[in-house]
Amino acid sequence: MSYRKTLLGASCSLCVHSLRALLAFSLCCFISGYSEKDRAHNLLSKYPVIDGHNDLALRLRIHYNNQLSKINLTHLTRVATDISRLRAGHVQTQMFAVYVLCGAQHMDAVRLTLEQIDVIRRICTEYPDFELVTSTQELRDSMTKGKIACLISIEGGHSIDSSLPALRMFYQLGVRSMSLTHSCNTPWYSKEHAVSKHHISYTSNNSLTTFGKAVVDEMNRLGMIVDLSHTSFETASAVLNHSKAPVIFSHSSSYMICNNPRNVPDWLLQELKDNRGLIMVNFYSPFISCQKKATVSHLADHFDYIKGFIGAKSIGIGGDFDGGTSFPVGLEDVSKYPVIVQELLKRNWTEEDLADVLRNNFLRVFEEVEKVRNELSWKKPSEEEIPLTEVANKCRLELKQPIIPSNQSPSLKAKGHNLLFLALALLFYFFP
């Protein structure tokens, strides 16, 4: 009887010890898991995200025809971006892309670009959570005020219709970055593929034409960030060697990890480091895993590889939300940035490295762009024009005084002159 009691007591004691061990293990896992999550959120609270590329404006056009009166941007369905999710994802600065389809090139691209700038300016001024910013100082101030800073970028050089005055006017409207190409070539730059799906192809311009150099020079003079995402490798290299200011790839990843032409090969990454520029890693699944689906681990591999090759100080974030249609599981919208931070913390990224990637690197690049602008303040606006033969645009009107044929009667000539003088008088009256 005593033996059985002893055996039973020993068994109970073993059960108690096992239960305690199991509870302790579960508690450790529980605490460890939450502390890692908390660590990511705490880090993001100190260094909130500056994201280099978001296509919300395009989705507003597609789904709502830019009619902001019909939506509530605080909570918005059908898109990956709204104010509540930006807040949840600790996004403090968002570069909103102005994208116009390449089919508008040589047609109404400038008008459409103006309309897209208008909708971004409206969302960033009508909603008190947002603040439109145009400088690093304003960006820093917006963080102090608890605002989500809005920066405007143009995606695709076709939006300026080969016109430096148009580029300057976009700058006056608040545009602070422009990618030189998109899915179509321009007369002065080439995109990542040799043939344009929009039948607009200038395949000989794989480096820089004279006008292409003038565009980069004018962007440097204005203080506008040059964006090389979507350019061909040769064009990107030529720009990296020509620009006086650091440049960015606003939403591109590592070609070594995924050999998609939208990503950046090692030799260009090295040139980017020499330029003191930035590659802002894209989250779009086909650019991450070279497949339709991807995981957070696939994405983290790009961060790891680029960090190992050129260092964390050359990396930023360019999620491409609302541009792409497939994102890694767990990273489906702008609220999920803590997920990638957690993954990088697991991979022993330091707080300093993550602070640089999340925020500090972009601020440095933007400040250096502004420094170059200040150094070039003595330069006058460029008057470089692209030859009409290079544009080959039937819709492009050449403004010249009408030529009256020599065989025309004096009375008709006089009438022609009188009409011309009347038109000029009216022009100066209404537009002094």
Lowest mean pLDDT among 175-189, 249-263, 329-343, 393-407: 393-407
What pLDDT shows up at residue 296?
A: 98
What pLDDT shows up at residue 240?
A: 97
Same domain, 302 and 185: yes
The single residue of 158, 230, 298, 302 carrying the catalytic annotation is 230
Same domain, 98 and 211: yes
| Percent of the chain predicted with pLDDT > 70 | 76
The single residue of 90, 106, 158, 251 carrying the catalytic annotation is 251
* Rounded Cα–Cα distance for residues 158 and 142 (Å): 31
Same domain, 335 and 411: no
63 belongs to the catalytic site: no
What pLDDT shows up at residue 188?
A: 72
**Tally of domains within the chain:** 2
161 belongs to the catalytic site: no
Average pLDDT over residues 170-199: 71
The single residue of 51, 55, 218, 301 carrying the catalytic annotation is 55
Task: Please report which confidence band the pLDDT of residue 15 belongs to, taking 50, 70 and 90 as the band edges.
Answer: very low
* Rounded Cα–Cα distance for residues 216 and 160 (Å): 13
What pLDDT shows up at residue 106?
A: 65
Average pLDDT over residues 15-30: 42
Average pLDDT over residues 105-109: 70
Cβ partners under 8 Å of residue 251, min gap 6: 52, 53, 229, 280, 282, 284, 318, 319, 320, 323
Same domain, 275 and 419: no
Selected residue with higher pLDDT from 49 and 402: 49
Lowest mean pLDDT among 51-55, 183-187, 427-431: 427-431
Lowest mean pLDDT among 36-50, 225-239, 250-264, 390-404: 390-404
Cβ contact 134:176 at 8 Å: yes
Same domain, 292 and 409: no
The token pair that represents 137 in the structure block: 């100082």
pTM of the model: 0.83
The single residue of 90, 182, 298, 302 carrying the catalytic annotation is 182
- Residue 95's φ and ψ, nearest 5 degrees, are -85, 110
- Residue 26's φ and ψ, nearest 5 degrees, are -65, -40
What pLDDT shows up at residue 102?
A: 62
Eight-class DSSP state of 405: P
In a domain, 386, yes or no: no
Lowest mean pLDDT among 194-208, 304-318, 418-432: 194-208
pLDDT at 54 over 50: yes
pLDDT in tens, 224-235: 999 999 998 999
What pLDDT shows up at residue 390?
A: 76
What pLDDT shows up at residue 199?
A: 35
In a domain, 382, yes or no: no
Name the β-bridge partners of 278: 248
53 belongs to the catalytic site: yes
Lowest mean pLDDT among 66-75, 180-189, 366-375: 180-189
* Rounded Cα–Cα distance for residues 160 and 172 (Å): 13
What pLDDT shows up at residue 269?
A: 98
pLDDT at 200 over 90: no
Same domain, 267 and 336: yes
Same domain, 294 and 418: no
Average pLDDT over residues 302-331: 97
Cβ partners under 8 Å of residue 410, min gap 6: none
SS (H, E, C) 354-402: HHHHHHHHHHHHHHHHHHHHHHCCCCCCCCCCCCHHHHCCCCCCCCCCC
230 belongs to the catalytic site: yes
What pLDDT shows up at residue 194?
A: 33
In a domain, 388, yes or no: no
Question: One-letter amino acid identity for 206?
Answer: N
Lowest mean pLDDT among 48-57, 232-241, 245-254: 232-241
What pLDDT shows up at residue 158?
A: 85
pLDDT at 411 over 90: no
Q: Which domain holds residue 421?
A: 401-432
In a domain, 2, yes or no: no
Cβ contact 228:236 at 8 Å: yes
251 belongs to the catalytic site: yes
182 belongs to the catalytic site: yes
Same domain, 406 and 305: no
pLDDT at 293 over 70: yes
* Rounded Cα–Cα distance for residues 323 and 156 (Å): 14
Nearest in space to 122 (alpha carbons), one of 52, 68, 73: 68
Same domain, 191 and 94: yes
CATH number of the domain at 44, please: 3.20.20.140
Mean pLDDT of the chain: 85
pLDDT at 318 over 50: yes
The single residue of 51, 271, 320, 333 carrying the catalytic annotation is 320
Same domain, 306 and 411: no
- DSSP states along 246-307: --EETT--BTTTS--TTSB-HHHHHHHHHHT-EEEE---HHHHTSSS---HHHHHHHHHHHH
Cβ contact 361:313 at 8 Å: yes
CA distances from 390 to 178, 195, 239, 412, 426 (A): 22, 17, 20, 36, 34
In a domain, 259, yes or no: yes
In 3-state terms, what secondary structure has residue 135?
coil
Residue 26 parent element (H or E): helix 2-46
pLDDT in tens, 86-99: 999 999 999 999 99
What pLDDT shows up at residue 191?
A: 52
* Rounded Cα–Cα distance for residues 58 and 182 (Å): 14
Cβ contact 266:309 at 8 Å: yes
In a domain, 12, yes or no: no
pLDDT in tens, 276-288: 999 999 999 999 9
Same domain, 236 and 363: yes
Name the β-bridge partners of 131: 149
Average pLDDT over residues 192-212: 53
In a domain, 30, yes or no: no
What pLDDT shows up at residue 190?
A: 58
Task: Please report which confidence band the pLDDT of residue 403 belongs to, taking 50, 70 and 90 as the band edges.
Answer: low
Nearest in space to 159 (alpha carbons), one of 178, 172, 145: 178
In a domain, 117, yes or no: yes
Same domain, 327 and 406: no
Q: For 140, how many CA atoms within 13 A lie in the half-sphere containing its CB?
A: 9
